[in-house]
């Protein structure tokens, strides 16, 4: 595998017709456009919340936390699936996952302001299902932990 490809965000290679997700689609100009990368055997994503992404004033909105864990979970699932097939993320067929189950435990309030880091561990890759554990880190402290069960969507999946 080309090492450079391992440094690209998997969302940059989502096919155009499945690249509109509010959380991670590069074609959704209203959305968060998060990016998921490999960092060794873990996956990483970084995000700076807007000032209005607040819960109680001073802390990050839990729904945003859940959203980022969700999207970094599906991005991590795609990264893991490509690696599992020993393929670069720009090769076809494209692998794209959606969330079947999301669990988030809020360990402590996440301060609003600092860049937030999401780190993913791949727990299991089995058939079309990938399980990841995502830690949410702010100022070096884990403030939330999530578990995402993601399933691969069929090619040419559409609501139409």
Which residues of the chain form contacts with a second copy (CB under 8 A)? 17-18, 20-23, 25, 28-31, 50, 52-59, 61-64, 66-68, 70-71, 98-106, 109, 111-112, 153, 157-160
| CB of 43 or CB of 67, closer to a second copy | 67
CB of 120 to a second copy, least distance (A): 16
CB of 33 to a second copy, least distance (A): 12
CB of 87 to a second copy, least distance (A): 22
| CB of 93 or CB of 105, closer to a second copy | 105
Running DSSP on this structure, what letter comes out for residue 37? E
Taking 3-state DSSP, the helix, strand and coil percentages for the chain, each rounded to the nearest 5, stand at: 20, 35, 45
Q: Which of 97, 102, 127, 130 is nearest to 18 (CA)?
A: 97
Measured CA distances, 134 to 61, 72, 121 (Å): 17, 8, 6
């Amino acid at each position: 595998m080309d090492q450079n490809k391992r440094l690209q965000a998997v969302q940059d290679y989502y096919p155009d017709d499945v690249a509109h997700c509010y959380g991670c689609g590069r074609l959704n100009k209203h959305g968060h456009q998060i990016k998921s990368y490999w960092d060794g055997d873990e996956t990483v994503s970084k995000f700076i919340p807007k000032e209005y992404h607040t819960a109680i004033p001073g802390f990050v909105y839990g729904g945003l936390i859940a959203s980022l864990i969700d999207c970094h979970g599906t991005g991590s699932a795609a990264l893991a699936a490509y690696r599992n097939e020993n393929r670069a993320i720009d090769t076809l067929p494209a692998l794209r996952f959606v969330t079947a189950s999301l669990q988030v435990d809020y360990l402590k309030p996440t301060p609003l302001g600092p860049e937030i880091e999401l780190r993913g561990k791949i727990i299991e890759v089995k058939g079309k299902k990938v399980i990841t554990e995502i830690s949410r880190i702010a100022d070096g402290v884990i403030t939330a932990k999530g578990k995402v069960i993601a399933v691969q969507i069929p090619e040419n999946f559409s609501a139409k």
